[in-house]
């Protein structure tokens, strides 16, 4: 592979713009860059998760990180990279993880151990990325595959957090709602 970045700083962004993969320049506060930044943050949070997760979960976490680079490429180049097959694969993984978990009868709070907590943070960042993509999708169509993938990914991360908790022998923390009484 040839050197892609021979110099990290270029000074071309000092004016508040940045270069896109297709050669165009956009404002650093554009919706497309907000979405790219949220996807990048999600990928970084997944790296933190991978450094704390049990070994048996790392392959799936790394696969998601690779897929998030495809999301970034789709946002940068405007070429469809995330197809329905990516959504289907994620759904199959989600279903497989969920089979070993007890059904939820109450909401759970983020927690359940260090790795599971990092997974819950990733889930929350994923939801923010999804909100950015929904806003961007109003300006330029992102494609159904991309939108569905990010939506499903937050579901997957929720179930992954539960699976990690269970694997680590950690208790999930159930929400203690303050039920109003008529007293």
How many helical (H) and strand (E) elements, i.e. helices and strands, does the chain have? Answer: 5, 4
Q: Which two three-digit tokens encode residue 34?
A: 């907000």
Stretch among 7-16, 29-38, 123-132 having the lowest mean pLDDT: 7-16
**pLDDT score of 181 more than 80:** no
The arithmetic mean of pLDDT across residues 113-126, rounded, is 98
For residue 182, pLDDT beyond 60: no
Which pLDDT score, from 0 to 100, does residue 4 have? 67
User: Mean of the pLDDT values across residues 70-98?
Assistant: 95
What would the mean pLDDT of 39-48 be, rounded to a whole number?
Answer: 98
Residue 18: predicted pLDDT: 81
pLDDT for residue 23 = 83
Supply the mean pLDDT for the chain.
Answer: 92
pLDDT of residue 2: 58
The residue assigned the tokens 């990928």 is 43
Answering whether pTM is above 0.85, one says: yes
Instruction: Delimit the domains of the chain by residue range.
Output: 28-97+109-170
* Lowest-pLDDT range of 5-9, 69-73, 127-131, 175-179: 5-9
Say which range, 19-33, 76-90, 117-131, has the weakest mean pLDDT: 19-33
Q: In the numeric block, which tokens belong to residue 15? A: 């004016």
Q: What CATH number has the domain spanning 28-97+109-170?
A: 1.20.1200.10
* pLDDT (tens digit per residue) in 4-32: 667 777 787 788 888 878 888 888 899 99
Burial class (CB in 10 A: 0-12, 13-18, 19+), 122: buried
The mean pLDDT value for 174-181 works out to 75
Between CA 172 and CA 45 the distance in angstroms is: 21
Q: How far apart are CA 88 and CA 118, in angstroms?
A: 25
């Amino acid at each position: 592979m040839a050197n892609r970045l021979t110099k990290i700083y270029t000074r071309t962004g000092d004016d508040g713009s940045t270069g896109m993969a297709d050669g165009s320049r956009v404002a650093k506060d554009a919706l497309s860059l907000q979405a790219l930044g949220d996807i990048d943050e999600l990928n970084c949070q997944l790296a933190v998760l991978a450094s704390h997760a049990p070994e048996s979960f790392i392959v799936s976490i790394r696969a998601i990180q690779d897929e998030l680079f495809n999301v970034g490429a789709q946002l940068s180049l405007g070429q469809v990279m995330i197809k329905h097959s990516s959504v289907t694969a994620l759904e199959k993984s989600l279903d497989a993880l969920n089979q070993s978990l007890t059904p939820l009868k109450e909401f759970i709070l983020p927690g359940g151990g260090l790795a599971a907590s990092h997974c819950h943070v990733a889930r929350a960042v994923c939801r923010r990325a999804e909100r950015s993509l929904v806003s961007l999708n109003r300006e330029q169509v992102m494609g159904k595959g991309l939108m569905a993938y990010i939506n499903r990914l937050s579901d997957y991360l929720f179930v992954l957090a539960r699976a990690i908790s269970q694997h680590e022998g950690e208790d999930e923390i159930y929400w203690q709602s303050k039920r109003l009484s008529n007293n």
